[in-house]
Amino acid sequence: MFKGIVVEKDAEGYRASLAEIDENRLPAGDVTVRVEYSTLNYKDGLAITGKGPVVRSFPMVPGIDFAGVVEQSDHPDFKPGDTVVLNGWGVGEAHWGGLAQRARVKGDWLIPLPKRFSTRDAMAIGTAGYTAMLCVMALERHGLKAGDGPVLVTGANGGVGSVAIALLAKLGYTVTASTGRPGESDYLRRLGATDVIDRKELSEPGKPLQKERWIAAVDSVGSHTLANVCAQLRYNGVVTACGLAQGLDLPGSVAPFILRGVSLVGIDSVMRPKADRVAAWERLARDLHGPILEDIATEIALPQAIDAAARLMRGEIRGRLVVDVNAS
């Protein structure tokens, strides 16, 4: 038996609870992992609270990522004792995820954890930080270099935003953070933001073309915010889009793309090929300073995850929530 969060939907409604789970109920997979840490991401908040159609089968153990130690393996790349990390692949949505003390998954979904990181470090980074790194790498592929101009990060207090600011600042970029919580300005400046603006500047309907402000942006918000970011990008600017906190829609214009040569790059982290994942984690090990993780991350125990998910959906969480699945 092991402990885990279980999401159920039946005649009694939608609910999440902490439960004792028989290991025989673990889904099919060729690697069994003793989970040490997981996290709470936006998707996990949706899954636990039921505020979005994230869970595709019931019952479900949520948690789109985890880090831990291999216990059993029939996969040629992994053996008992290996330390591994998993992000995405539909885990926590269609396949039991990481908010539990055990997980059984396909070995092809796992990557070795870089030696520089502990399993706690890995989840202080988590899917949010791994996604932020994918965004930064996409900006670099577009040709962005430090000194080209200011870079905007929206949703700055969230997990993606926090890590993106820290990474970009470490690489020498001048970073502006957009946030709905101006009281967190000191935190954002500690991460490396030079300027902090109120998200209200971007969240309302705007003109198709606006004053050129940013050479690049990392956006995790979507909707009017993303449309305004595109309208404010400088000539040949680029924005990476990886989230939809404000909405799925993009109520904008083609004007920035055809008159200023702006590029919009979509970032998928869920089904990313393994080679890209390994490259992103290697870059994180190189470019993300360890002390930053302590500022970004707050640790909670597994029994606190359900209440924390509700707070996450209310926008009350700063940075990353690391879940110690073995703490009570």
Burial code of 209-218, b = ≥16 C-beta within 10 A, e = fewer? bbebbbbbbb
pLDDT (0 to 100) of residue 315: 85
Q: pLDDT averaged over the chain?
A: 96
Please give the full DSSP string across 113-167, using - where no structure is assigned.
PPTT--HHHHHHHHHHHHHHHHHHHHHHHTT--TTS--EEESSTTSHHHHHHHHH
Enumerate residues 6+ apart whose C-beta is below 8 A from 286: none
Both 106 and 131 in one domain: the answer is: no
Residue at 57 is within a domain: yes
Report strand pairing: 13-21 vs 2-10.
Answer: antiparallel
Cis status, amide bond into 59, omega within 30 of 0: yes
**Residue 119 forms part of a structural domain:** no
Boundaries of domain holding 15: 2-113+292-324
**What is the pLDDT, as a whole number, of residue 196?**
97
Counting the structural domains of the chain, the total is 2
Q: Which two tokens stand for residue 22?
A: 């028989």
Residues 190 and 250 in one domain: yes
pLDDT score for 52: 87
Q: Is residue 205 part of a domain?
A: yes
Return the CATH number at 46. 3.90.180.10
Q: What is the chain's Cα-based Rg?
A: 20
Cα–Cα–Cα angle for 172, 242, 178, rounded to 5 degrees: 55
Predicted local confidence at residue 328, as pLDDT: 86
Residues 6+ apart with CB under 8 A from 325: 3, 4, 35, 36, 37, 38, 66, 98, 99, 100, 101, 302
What does the pLDDT read at residue 119? 97
**Tens-place pLDDT, residues 139-167:** 999 999 999 999 999 999 988 999 999 99
Q: 54 and 175, same structural domain?
A: no
Residues 20, 103 within the same domain: yes
CATH label of the domain that carries residue 136: 3.40.50.720
Residues 259, 132, single domain; the answer is yes
pLDDT of 126 = 94
Residues 133 and 259 in one domain: yes
Q: Which helix (H) or strand (E) holds 39?
A: strand 31-40
| 201 and 223 belong to one structural domain | yes
Helices (H) and strands (E) in the chain, counts: 10, 15
Predicted pLDDT at 291: 83
Kindly list the averaged pLDDT for each block of 10 residues, start to end, along the chain of length 328: 96 95 96 98 94 93 98 98 97 97 98 96 95 98 95 94 95 96 92 96 97 98 98 98 94 97 97 96 91 90 97 89 95
